[in-house]
């Protein structure tokens, strides 16, 4: 079942992704695969002592929509996933966390990208100052687990990493 790559050509090499076209032999026949190559990413389900989950709302130009998401971001080169998760939580929400649990790691869309996301649960939160990138406009909001699960079910939340993180956090939150 393995596809054999016979040629690979980079057609775009940007700041956060590279687009390559790979010629392959699939099931004995020639085919092309368009691949988005990205660095790893992290996402965090931050739970306050009162049980509220800290979320971020921001506009995503790729889908031309404002999304409610768990805090997330790209890993810096050479950065360990947990360190990246701690950095992203602080930057986007201002919070730091005492307790960290890895919930999962996965390929969100393996059909066309090698992106790999690590999702963490963060508890024992301490508030602080945010450190947004200069072009980021983020609103920090808080919801109960039940509110978020209902929003996933109704489609109000339709970001994959957020739905995955919230569903898995449900199993861990005590």
Write out the catalytic residue numbers: 134
Q: In terms of C-beta distances under 8 Å and separation of at least 24 residues, what long-range contacts does 131-138 make, across chains too?
A: 131/90, 131/91, 131/94, 132/91, 132/92, 133/91, 136/58, 136/92, 137/58, 137/59, 138/56, 138/57, 138/58, 138/92
> What's the rounded Cα separation, in Å, for the pair 69 and 122?
15
């Amino acid at each position: 079942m393995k596809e054999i790559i016979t040629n690979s050509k980079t057609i775009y090499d940007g700041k956060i992704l590279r687009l390559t076209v790979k010629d392959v032999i699939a099931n004995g026949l020639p085919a092309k695969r368009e691949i988005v190559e990205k660095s790893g990413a992290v996402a965090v389900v931050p739970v306050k002592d009162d049980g509220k989950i800290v979320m971020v709302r921001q506009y995503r130009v790729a889908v031309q929509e404002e999304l409610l998401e768990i805090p997330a971001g790209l890993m810096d080169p050479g950065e360990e996933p947990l360190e990246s998760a701690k950095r992203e939580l602080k930057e986007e929400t201002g919070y730091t966390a005492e307790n960290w649990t890895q919930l999962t790691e996965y390929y969100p869309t393996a059909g066309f990208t090698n992106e790999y996301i690590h999702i963490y649960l963060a508890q024992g939160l301490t508030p602080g100052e945010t450190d947004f990138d200069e072009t980021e406009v983020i609103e920090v909001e808080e919801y109960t687990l039940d509110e978020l699960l209902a929003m996933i079910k109704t489609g109000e939340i339709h970001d994959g990493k957020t739905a995955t993180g919230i569903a898995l956090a449900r199993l861990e939150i005590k």
